[in-house]
Amino acid sequence: MIKSYKINKDVIMFAIDEIPFIGNYRTGSIIALNEKELSFVKSILAGKLNNEDELDDKKKEWLSILKECDIICDIKESICMNDIEIESIYLHYTNKCNLYCKGCYSYDQNRNDESQDLSMEYFLEAVKQLKTYGLDKIIISGGEPTLRNDLDEFIKYLKEILDINYIVLITNGTNLPHNLLHTIREYVDDVAVSIDGYEEGITFIRPTGIHKIVMNNIALLKEAGINVSMIATLHRKNVNLMDKYQKLSEEMGIPLSYSILTCNNQNREECKDFMFSEDILSSIKWEDILSSIKWNENIDNTNIKNFSFETRLSCEAGRKMLSIAANGDVYPCHMLHVEEFKLGNIKDMTVGEILCSSKRLIWKNISVDMIDGCNICKFKYLCGGACRANAYYLNATLKKKDPYCPLYYNFYETIINLIREYNRKEREE
């Protein structure tokens, strides 16, 4: 009989004095593993158990114990099918980049060292295993992903063979090989182009002289019938110029979204002139941006990254989202490629092992009710504690407030006021 199994969501793997254990912290079950048993568990997690009937009696016994202890479940069983672990991943397909941008979240000491990039096959195998755990969306990033010669083949395989539902390509917009256009049009659901200034000659965090190239490539993507959008990074020097970016969006006929500059421990010095002060954060007005929302329709995105109107207990880092670096290292999110939070590497670990690692347990259990200051805020179940990366880089702990808290607070306050006004008008009509 051919069956496929995956690890249960409440399972954790750990070692004590070099003895490996696997257990379910919901049921309390625990199993000590010898080398052969550990190898067997890894083969199951890698999807290499093809036919149970061909197993010897000892392995059949091991399999039975793993099922009885709620360590694994048949992916076709309803309780297992509805247990989605990972919905999306950031996949950094290369560490190579043709630009240097201040505050780049993916920059590290291996930038432009192509020997660090894993082969396509490693990424495809990881994605194949992640599909078992509910993977629906892949954001392909870098470095600059269009610099890899096999990107078109990779994207095509993701969509045609692995049946990934939603693929996003993030690019700096300076490199658009002609042969890639067809692949993008056929297999990529959205292309997000990062921009810096809103017109020629205006630069903040990027090199000068590339605005026209980026705008021309955005126009090419649009003309090819590709869903393309622009992402502008908000920081101290441009946050009061959002109307300029909005004007560019309208002129280009291209949707615009924003990300917020994250200053980590490596780039904090070069970012100091771009960091928000609390006064600036508190003074930002959301009324003009949010008043255009049609409140009689579903509100699922306000086009500002990390700002959404939904019920949240935490950010999705490490819970429903993972980030895979170009060298195969796995982290809870693309903003936290920090050794302290590394969950494993796809080159020498199965996805199942990574998902039940003890380091991931932190991310599965953290909630806004555990964060100092956030736990008494009226907006806590909308904000979810905002971004844990921002909190960590400033406070060296995950359990402190996001330093951008005033920005989030004003955002939700504005939404509540708009809803209140909408309800008032409804009552009067």
- 13-40 tens-digit pLDDT: 888 888 888 888 778 888 888 889 899 9
Q: Is the dihedral of CA 113, 114, 115, 120 positive or negative?
A: positive
Distances (CA, A) of 159 to 107, 110, 137, 162, 326: 28, 29, 11, 6, 20
Question: Are residues 235 and 204 in contact, defined by beta-carbon separation less than 8 angstroms?
Answer: yes
Place of tokens 């979204």: 257
> pLDDT tier at 291 (50, 70, 90 boundaries)?
low
Report percent pLDDT > 90 for the chain: 46
Q: What is the pLDDT of residue 295?
A: 38
Domain residue ranges of the chain, discontinuous segments joined by +: 5-69, 85-428
Find out whether the peptide bond into 197 is cis, omega within 30 degrees of 0: no
> pLDDT tier at 293 (50, 70, 90 boundaries)?
very low
**pLDDT tens string 124-183:** 999 999 998 889 999 999 999 999 999 999 999 999 999 999 999 999 999 999 889 999
Q: Could you give the count of Cα atoms lying within 13 Å of 61 in the half-sphere of its Cβ? A: 4
Task: Name residues whose C-beta falls within 8 Å of residue 61's C-beta, 6 or more positions apart in sequence.
Answer: none
List the single range of 63-77, 232-246, 329-343 with lowest mean pLDDT: 63-77
The most confident of the ranges 67-76, 228-237, 253-262, 293-302 is 228-237
**So what's the architecture of 85-428 in CATH?**
Alpha-Beta Barrel (3.20)
Q: What is the pLDDT of residue 294?
A: 41
Cα distance between residue 146 and residue 385, in whole Å: 34
Residue 41 has pLDDT above 80, yes or no: yes
Q: What is the pLDDT of residue 32?
A: 85
Residue 376 has pLDDT above 80, yes or no: yes
Give the mean pLDDT of 282-289: 71
| Number of C-beta neighbours around residue 265 at 10 A | 11
Residue 300 has pLDDT above 50, yes or no: no
Question: Are residues 122 and 72 in contact, defined by beta-carbon separation less than 8 angstroms?
Answer: no
User: Structure tokens of 179?
Assistant: 């042969």
> pLDDT tier at 413 (50, 70, 90 boundaries)?
confident
Cα distance between residue 367 and residue 382, in whole Å: 12
Q: Which of 259, 89, 254 is nearest to 168 (CA)?
A: 89
Cα distance between residue 126 and residue 112, in whole Å: 23
| Number of C-beta neighbours around residue 19 at 10 A | 10
Q: DSSP per residue over 343-369, as a string?
A: -EETTTS-HHHHHTBHHHHHHHH--GG
Q: What is the pLDDT of residue 168?
A: 96
Q: Where are the beta strands (DSSP E) in 114-212?
A: 137-141, 166-171, 190-195
Q: What is the pLDDT of residue 290?
A: 58
Q: Which of 107, 100, 96, 105 is nearest to 207 (CA)?
A: 100
Q: What is the pLDDT of residue 240?
A: 84
Q: What is the pLDDT of residue 21?
A: 87
List the single range of 59-63, 87-91, 187-191 with lowest mean pLDDT: 59-63
Q: What is the pLDDT of residue 196?
A: 93
Helix residue ranges, H only, 1-118: 35-45, 57-68, 78-81
> pLDDT tier at 410 (50, 70, 90 boundaries)?
confident
Mean pLDDT of the chain, nearest integer: 86
Residue 110 has pLDDT above 90, yes or no: no
Q: Which residue has the higher pLDDT, 179 or 294?
A: 179
Q: What is the pLDDT of residue 391?
A: 92
Q: Where are the beta strands (DSSP E) in 4-136?
A: 5-7, 11-16, 19-24, 30-32, 72-74, 88-92
Place of tokens 């330093």: 403
Task: Name residues whose C-beta falls within 8 Å of residue 108's C-beta, 6 or more positions apart in sequence.
Answer: 95, 266, 337
Q: What is the pLDDT of residue 167?
A: 97
Q: What is the pLDDT of residue 1?
A: 53
User: Structure tokens of 378?
Assistant: 């009226």
List the single range of 57-71, 243-257, 321-335, 407-421 with lowest mean pLDDT: 407-421
Q: What is the pLDDT of residue 292?
A: 46
Give the mean pLDDT of 210-231: 95
User: Structure tokens of 144?
Assistant: 């600059």
